[in-house]
């Protein structure tokens, strides 16, 4: 089996990794990013040959299709004899139809397009690069992996809003996100502590985008994110859970347009809005400014409240896992959250907590703690690579057409944001 390219596309950038396999586990070979797409495109990558960079002249900015061709050609020269066999894409929204990774063909692409209104800030960018790769390399299989798929196991009692059934029929329901992260962390927990993974776990994915998930015996039971990636915890620039009456008030009384409200809730709220200075937890923890300290207090408070809610949703708590940027590298946040969860049986080993820096799996609970507490670094790209490899192997074994987009018209730039 050859190498797998993993893409995580944003509005003006795309992060990429290339994975091979060693001892049955994904091994990252190359990591990089193309930023400033359409404006000041710049390429950076780190791999076996060290770090490489390239910038394009402002007068000759490449399209996504041209960048896709450049990236694959660049990789093929550096993969040391390995063949690039497939591209795995992180796609935020799979709706109710896409409940597992899927080979992208024209029908799948049409289905993903229909979901753009449910994830307008994320979905179009993934689709733009899927089209770009279909045009640049039509023989290369493309696999879509979904952030929503892990939460397909939640019950209707958890998934539905108290709205008319006709709206649920249109897809207005709770989906949950960060599923690729939760799936990876659950797998790592099962590897390092099968007993903990076989119980009732709450995973706290705390980063610029933040959410939490109740996972019972490896299955998603409930998540803090709902219809969009805006719900739940306070995030870097996103507000998290909000009384819907506030949105009505902003439109009806403050005269804000829907577009202005969208920008406020996604880009001007959260830690940045509360502190007025930064969306970076490191800055806030190092500040003595009252608003910065208040932002941290509110963040911790929301995490604690959601942890209690998720424990109730699954009927108990056997393990608590911290992951993502803040969860992996902010021992003060872990300590403050854990102290307030003492009523559930959480007790940290202070030295172990201080030592855990997100570079490896680490148990940070004390010997007396009734709840096992872990820091487990997440790797969504490795999860995508694993899914892509497995599905490609299955399709190859069945002699399926793994280049399903080969003969479909591509419009790489039509949907670029």
Tokens encoding 33: 């990013």
Other CB atoms closer than 10 Å to residue 185's CB: what's the count? 31
**What's the CA gap between 250 and 356, in Å, rounded?**
42
Relative to beta strand 102-103, strand 84-91 is: unpaired
Instruction: Identify whether the C-beta of residue 329 lies closer than 8 Å to the C-beta of residue 358.
Output: yes
Question: CA-based diameter of the chain, in Å?
Answer: 64
**What's the CA gap between 217 and 40, in Å, rounded?**
47
- What is the side-by-side order of every strand in the sheet holding 200-205? 219-223, 211-216, 200-205, 319-323, 372-375, 362-363
CA quadruple 121, 126, 127, 132: dihedral sign: positive
**What's the CA gap between 73 and 81, in Å, rounded?**
13
Catalytic residue among 58, 73, 147, 357: 147
Tokens encoding 349: 């080993």
**What's the CA gap between 248 and 269, in Å, rounded?**
17
**Which residues face 373 on adjacent strands?**
320
Strand, helix or coil for residue 129: helix
Question: 100 to each of 20, 114, 123, 388, how far by Cα in Å?
Answer: 22, 17, 17, 11
Other CB atoms closer than 10 Å to residue 355's CB: what's the count? 12
**What's the CA gap between 327 and 324, in Å, rounded?**
5
Question: Over the range 43-71, which residues count as b (16 or more CB within 10 Å of their CB) and which as e?
Answer: bebebeeeeeeeebeeeeebbbbbbbbbb
Active site residue 147: yes
Instruction: Identify whether the C-beta of residue 6 lies closer than 8 Å to the C-beta of residue 17.
Output: yes
Name every residue whose Cβ is closer than 8 Å to that of residue 377 and which is 6 or more positions away in sequence. Answer: 323, 328, 358, 359, 360, 361
Q: Which residues are catalytic, by number?
A: 147
């Amino acid at each position: 089996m050859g190498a797998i390219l993993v893409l995580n596309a944003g509005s003006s950038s795309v992060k990429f990794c290339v994975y091979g396999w060693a001892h049955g586990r994904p091994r990252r070979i190359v990591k990089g990013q193309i930023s400033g797409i359409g404006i000041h495109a710049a390429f950076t990558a780190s791999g076996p040959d060290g770090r490489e960079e390239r910038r394009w002249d402002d007068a000759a900015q490449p399209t996504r299709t041209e960048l896709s061709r450049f990236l694959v050609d660049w990789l093929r020269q550096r993969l040391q004899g390995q063949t690039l066999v497939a591209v795995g894409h992180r796609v935020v929204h799979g709706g109710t139809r896409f409940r597992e990774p899927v080979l992208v063909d024209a029908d799948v692409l049409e289905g993903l397009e229909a979901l753009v209104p449910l994830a307008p800030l994320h979905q179009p960018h993934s689709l733009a690069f899927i089209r770009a790769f279909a045009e640049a390399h039509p023989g290369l299989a493309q696999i879509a992996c979904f952030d929503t798929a892990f939460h397909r196991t939640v019950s209707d009692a958890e998934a539905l809003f108290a709205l008319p059934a006709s709206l649920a029929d249109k897809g207005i329901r709770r989906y949950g996100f960060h599923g690729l992260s939760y799936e990876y962390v659950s797998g790592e927990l099962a590897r390092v502590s099968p007993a903990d993974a076989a119980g009732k776990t709450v995973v706290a994915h705390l980063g610029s985008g933040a959410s939490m998930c109740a996972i019972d015996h490896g299955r998603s039971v409930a998540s803090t994110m709902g219809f969009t990636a805006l719900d739940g915890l306070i995030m870097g620039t996103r507000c998290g859970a909000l009384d819907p009456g506030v949105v009505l008030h902003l439109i009806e009384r403050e005269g804000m347009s829907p577009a202005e409200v969208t920008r406020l809730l996604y880009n001007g709220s959260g830690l940045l809005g509360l502190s007025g200075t930064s969306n970076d937890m490191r800055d806030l923890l190092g500040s003595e400014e009252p608003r910065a300290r208040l932002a941290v207090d509110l963040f911790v408070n929301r995490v604690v409240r959601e942890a209690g809610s998720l424990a109730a949703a699954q009927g108990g708590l056997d393990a608590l896992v911290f992951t993502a940027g803040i969860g992996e590298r902010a021992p003060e946040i872990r300590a403050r959250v854990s102290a307030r969860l003492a009523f559930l049986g959480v007790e940290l080993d202070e030295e172990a907590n201080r030592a855990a820096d997100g570079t490896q799996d680490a148990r940070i609970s004390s010997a007396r703690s009734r709840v096992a507490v872990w820091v487990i670094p997440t790797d969504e790209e490795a999860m995508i690579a694993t899914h892509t490899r497995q599905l490609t192997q299955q399709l190859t074994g069945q002699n399926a057409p793994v280049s399903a987009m080969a003969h479909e018209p591509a419009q790489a730039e039509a949907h670029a944001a």
